[in-house]
Structure 1
Amino acid sequence: MLSSRSTAFIFCYILLFCASVDALLYTDPKKLPKIHYDFVIVGAGTAGNVMANRLTENGQFSVLVIEAGVNNEGVLATTVPFLAPTSQPASPILWNYTTVPQKGLDNRVLGYSRGRILGGSSSVNFMTYTRGSDDDYDRWAKLVEDQVWSAKNLEPYYLKSSRLVPPADHHNTNGQVNPVVHGNGPVKISVPGFPTDIDARVINSSHELSSQFPFNLDVQSGNTIGISVVQNTVDSQGRRSSSATAYLQSILDRPNLDVLIQTQVTRLKQSGITSRKPIFKVVEFAQSSTGPRFQVTANNEVILCTGTINTPQILMLSGIGDAITLKKIGITPIVDLPDVGQNLQDHPILSNYFVVNTTNTFDTEWNTTGEGLFVDAPGNTLGFLRVNQSVLHGVADPSAGPKSGHFEMIFADGFAVTAEASPASGNYITVNTAVVSPSSRGSITLASTDPFAFPNMDPAFLTASLDVSIMVAAVKAVRQFVTASPWRGYITSRFGNMGMANTDEEIAAASRLGVVTIWHPTSTAMMSPANASWGVVDTRLLVKGTVGLRIVDASVFPVIPAGHTVGPVYIVAERAADFIKSEWC
């Protein structure tokens, strides 16, 4: 755990650097040099910066990016990997959202933050990188009836978006990763650069219990099943690699790019009609609820990259959504798309605590050497695993296939504070379990017509009974895993609410008290076949029933991947950039 002195120092850094803005970024809408651009990108997050980079490669395109958040430059918590948790749960660099009371979690209200800074959530997440299994993408292709979204056809975009680099300590990584399955893109990926006390125990346990917990050399191989060394978006100097550092920072001086920050898009305005479809090429924005409204026009397209929460909010405020619901709250419907804001999917995560027999402590070498524990994200090993058929109780398998997990285990050498407060004394490890093929479906709905008011967020965690069964199976799998010989004499007891649960019913009850979000919301503007009556965007990510409007972010996922979502967002954005280039070049 960080000391109070360290925490105070960190937040002083955050406040100091949030106040400073690079001269290449606009902070005053009145100072934008023009009001017409070829492309207006809304959101400079994970996907938006990919779009900005790839579209401005063509010098004939003029591009404006509008971002609600602040500059990432100099914000320590977005640079030092181990400090990622210090940006949660409330911070000036976050959308400090909360959910509605969760029926499946005994009506608890959860923090539901997203990044409000250049780089978006790629600047504040816990950096775990997984591209997803081949089965995940092949399921997408089947659902949307377009093989362009198959694993084989998306592989070039995975390879184009990221690349493997040496870890911060430059140790020999043989046996920890397979370089053959990696690409040559701008996002830097590495294995942990500082070992923890439990890394070898996890891997050795996998070898000992290989029938149930097989070792997987590289989770990016297309088959995610097994125990692996974590791969993080961390460069060889022990710094976070985000979409801001990988895609945006190096192109801010391109003459065909303008970036406006600290400014929120309030709605999209219809600018005409063609072939009986409304044209949405005017973007309205402001810096406060009561402040003046400004607008710019896209000659070609508006590209929404504001994420699973903000994208449906902007669509609904613009008259795009369920017509009946929009009328009820006083918004004139323009395009009737009932699935806007629906089908919200996320991964519920739960902490399992164990008391351990160790006195090892963390050090803080990063500040002076760029080495030490702080070069790592909070966990060094993980596993994606499947449940036995008996757990499914005859229900259709919710996973994409045998290469995709039902649940994930993430190992942390310390007490991960989630739903339970850190104990005053003692030494602990945490094994987090997440349901990565959830059946529960939630929603994003408007709470107000004020664009500066937060919408209602309901991920509906554990409302599907199958999700509860999978979480119970995951907890029992963790307990089985730590019976392996490497843990003997090291783990002394279970701890916390979950530690006291024994029967399936008790584990389920403790899960409802302990589940939080892993911050992977997707699918609120889901992709579907072009002629389907359901969904929000077609397979080229154009908003159905409109002209000039495209969505590129995690909201378009037809189904949530069984893995961490930042990698798939990069892949989707790279794919989308080529769609746009082929259409407008």
Structure 2
Amino acid sequence: MTETTYDYVIVGGGTAGSVIAARLSEDPATTVCVVEGGPDDRDHPNVIRLRDWMSVLGGDLDLKYTTTEQPRGNSHIVHSRARVLGGCSSHNTLIGFRPFAEDLDTWVALGAQGWDNATVQSYADRIRCDIVPVARQDRNAMVADWVAAASVATGVPVVEDFNALTSHGGGFSGGAGFLSIAYDPYTGHRSSASTAYLHPVMGVRENLTVMLETWADRIVFDGDRATGVSAATASGGRVTLHAREEVVLAAGAIDSPRLLLLSGVGEAGQLRSVGIDPRHDLPGVGENLLDHPESIIMWETVRPVPPETVMDSDAALFVRRDASDPRPDLMFHLYQLAFDDHTRRLGYDTPPEGHAVCMTPNVPRARSRGRLFLTSADPAVAPALDFRYFTDPGGYDERTIVDGLRIAREVAATEPFRSWIRREVAPGPDVRTDEELSEYGRRVAHTVYHPAGTCRMGAVDDPAAVVDPRLRVRGLRGLRVADASVFPALPTPNPMVTVLALGERAADLIRADRDRP
């Protein structure tokens, strides 16, 4: 057993963890250790090349978490989580949206004081990832025609830069346009959390240690204080990493609560039921599991999809149906490929290679809530994920998907996009009624890979909150959580920028608390 001591031990070298490690190690007198379960992303060219993002899904770098039986949704979803430096910013599509002001108003209303729009946007300004609108050379004619048709069909404006509308208190209720992506338009390489924050300092800062292929499976405590973590190495050995100041969990919305539960922090009865002695009864751990569920509609094109693209999903459409809320409540990504994992399972055919295009209506602020829990005390056993898709009492999530499928058909019937379409492949023109669209839409529903909320942030006196607004685990010392698991509610659009901003602010909170007398 190897033992080493640092000032800070950060579990997870992903989107937030990379930011926190880079910022804390700016002080040469502060020692920082990052514990990352996967390898160096620089050793995997397909990870660095954004266009190859789908090659990571389902491979050796994917943790491939599954879901429990979903009575009203799809029970066959694989929730990909990246086992590689950079975390999900090393295998997602790097779509970058600033959060809406109203999303952060919701956070504050749920007890996350200090996470207001002005504060979070100021941290978003610090982000080192190079987030830019899709470059002209990467914009193909079909996607441009889709943007134009989407604008006409839904009555929303064409947007040149979505982030210009949401920065510093702005927002939008609808729009169609090319996305902003964290990438280098000249090389097509990722501008991920690892490439932007860690690559420039790894091997340069003597006070920064990055332990790769090392899996933390237990938090070490002295009384109510976290003093380090115990971890398994790729060689089969074990290490104990001691933290003089704090342990920071940044392993994501699945593995941060999983590590807390394995360490005896969670609802006491649940822990006892799997043979874990409770150390700290904290019922909120694993609860409030959030996601952006999406469905799919697919067409065959009359001619090949043009090759120019960043990563085959370069544009989006936002629509607002509820006039009482200024935010859009329905979002669509456009996929320039056959996104057919679940349509094939239901017997639908797939268009010929290079002749598929899909719209994926998703629910930006889904009302269904799930939970994560352990089924075993063995760290090698994955946790159970019960997202409870489409179980909200009022049927809002289901209605949103049905409306989305109908709107997608309107876009496909509108020129100039209409001229690209040969036929609707799934669900097919015979699926027309609300009941039929709901049944199809829920059975092929997928995820946008945005799990969140499982270590929810809330007021210091909120018994259901896991962390306080300074990200400290309630009732314990020397332990914080800083990743999407602390979100009280999901941001309306893709949350990567919000996670990066959270990492930036977490580093400031950690430094400020260390400097307090």
TM-score for the superposition, normalised by structure 1: 0.82
Structure 1 distance, partners of 2:237, 2:296, is 46
Q: Is the 8 A contact 2:332 2:362 kept in 1?
A: yes
1:206-355 equivalences under 5 Å are: 206-209=150-153, 211=155, 213-220=156-163, 221-222=165-166, 223-224=171-172, 225-236=174-185, 237-252=187-202, 253-272=204-223, 278-287=224-233, 291-355=236-300
Question: Are the structure 2 counterparts of residues 489 and 66 from structure 1 closer, same or farther at C-alpha, using a change threshold of 3 Å?
Answer: closer
Asked if 1:459 corresponds to 2:387, the answer is yes
1:492 Cα offset (Å): 3.1
Structure 2 distance, partners of 1:414, 1:286, is 39
Structure 2 distance, partners of 1:303, 1:507, is 44
Question: Are the structure 2 counterparts of residues 488 and 94 from structure 1 closer, same or farther at C-alpha, using a change threshold of 3 Å?
Answer: closer
Asked if 1:96 corresponds to 2:45, the answer is no
Select between 93-102 and 546-555 the one with higher mean Cα deviation: 93-102
Query: For 1:222-279, what per-residue CA distance to the aligned partner results, in whole angstroms no more than 9, with x for missing partners?
Result: 224311211111113211111110111011120111111111101112113xxxxx11
What amino acid is the match of 2:411?
F
Asked if 1:149 corresponds to 2:115, the answer is yes
1:435 Cα offset (Å): 1.0
Aligned residues: 499
Q: Is the 8 A contact 1:77 1:124 kept in 2?
A: no
Q: Is the 8 A contact 1:232 1:377 kept in 2?
A: no
What amino acid is the match of 1:93?
L
1:563 Cα offset (Å): 1.0
Question: Are the structure 2 counterparts of residues 361 and 205 from structure 1 closer, same or farther at C-alpha, using a change threshold of 3 Å?
Answer: closer
1:405 maps to 328
Asked if 1:105 corresponds to 2:39, the answer is no
1:438 maps to 366
User: Which secondary structure does the structure 1 equivalent of 2:297 belong to?
Assistant: strand
Question: Are the structure 2 counterparts of residues 345 and 360 from structure 1 closer, same or farther at C-alpha, using a change threshold of 3 Å?
Answer: closer
> Structure 2: any 5+ residue segments left out of the alignment?
none
Structure 1 distance, partners of 2:139, 2:161, is 18
Asked if 1:58 corresponds to 2:58, the answer is no
> Structure 1: any 5+ residue segments left out of the alignment?
1-28, 162-184, 273-277, 363-371, 390-396
What amino acid is the match of 2:36?
E
Q: Is the 8 A contact 2:177 2:315 kept in 1?
A: yes
Q: Is the 8 A contact 2:216 2:232 kept in 1?
A: yes
Query: Out of 373, 376, 383, which is 2:317 matched to?
Result: 383
Asked if 1:138 corresponds to 2:105, the answer is yes
1:144 Cα offset (Å): 1.2
What amino acid is the match of 1:377?
M
1:557 Cα offset (Å): 0.2
Question: Are the structure 2 counterparts of residues 498 and 149 from structure 1 closer, same or farther at C-alpha, using a change threshold of 3 Å?
Answer: farther
User: Which secondary structure does the structure 2 equivalent of 1:462 belong to?
Assistant: coil
What amino acid is the match of 1:283?
V
1:490 Cα offset (Å): 2.7
Structure 2 distance, partners of 1:243, 1:112, is 20
1:419 Cα offset (Å): 1.4
Q: Report the aligned-residue RMSD.
A: 2.0
Select between 431-440 and 215-224 the one with higher mean Cα deviation: 215-224
Structure 1 distance, partners of 2:397, 2:231, is 40
Asked if 1:514 corresponds to 2:444, the answer is yes
Structure 2 distance, partners of 1:153, 1:441, is 27
Select between 489-498 and 435-444 the one with higher mean Cα deviation: 489-498
Asked if 1:126 corresponds to 2:93, the answer is yes
1:577 Cα offset (Å): 0.8
Query: For 1:190-238, what per-residue CA distance to the aligned partner results, in whole angstroms no more than 9, with x for missing partners?
Result: 4144122322212322443463x33333221222431121111111321
1:498 Cα offset (Å): 5.3
User: Which secondary structure does the structure 2 equivalent of 1:94 belong to?
Assistant: coil
Query: For 1:437-473, what per-residue CA distance to the aligned partner results, in whole angstroms no more than 9, with x for missing partners?
Result: 1011111101211112111112222222210011101
User: Which secondary structure does the structure 1 equivalent of 2:118 belong to?
Assistant: helix
Q: Is the 8 A contact 1:322 1:340 kept in 2?
A: yes
Structure 2 distance, partners of 1:82, 1:293, is 36
Query: For 1:104-128, what per-residue CA distance to the aligned partner results, in whole angstroms no more than 9, with x for missing partners?
Result: 226x221111010000011001221
1:417 maps to 340
1:133 Cα offset (Å): 1.1
What amino acid is the match of 1:125?
N
Q: Is the 8 A contact 2:10 2:250 kept in 1?
A: yes
1:413 Cα offset (Å): 2.7
Structure 2 distance, partners of 1:207, 1:342, is 38
What amino acid is the match of 2:190?
R
Percentage of pairs with the same residue? 29
Greater relative CO, 1 or 2 (CA 8 Å, sep 6+): 2
What amino acid is the match of 1:233?
A
Structure 1 distance, partners of 2:221, 2:428, is 52
Asked if 1:198 corresponds to 2:142, the answer is yes
Structure 2 distance, partners of 1:119, 1:550, is 20
TM-score for the superposition, normalised by structure 2: 0.92
Structure 2 distance, partners of 1:499, 1:315, is 48
Q: Is the 8 A contact 1:122 1:243 kept in 2?
A: yes
User: Which secondary structure does the structure 1 equivalent of 2:419 belong to?
Assistant: coil
1:521-532 equivalences under 5 Å are: 521-532=451-462
Question: Are the structure 2 counterparts of residues 360 and 279 from structure 1 closer, same or farther at C-alpha, using a change threshold of 3 Å?
Answer: closer
Q: Is the 8 A contact 1:196 1:380 kept in 2?
A: no
User: Which secondary structure does the structure 2 equivalent of 1:509 belong to?
Assistant: helix
Structure 1 distance, partners of 2:129, 2:175, is 27
Structure 2 distance, partners of 1:498, 1:384, is 23
What amino acid is the match of 1:116?
R
Q: Is the 8 A contact 2:10 2:249 kept in 1?
A: yes
1:366 maps to none
Structure 1 distance, partners of 2:183, 2:340, is 23
Asked if 1:572 corresponds to 2:502, the answer is yes
Structure 2 distance, partners of 1:414, 1:284, is 43
1:189 maps to 132
1:447 maps to 375
1:424 Cα offset (Å): 5.8
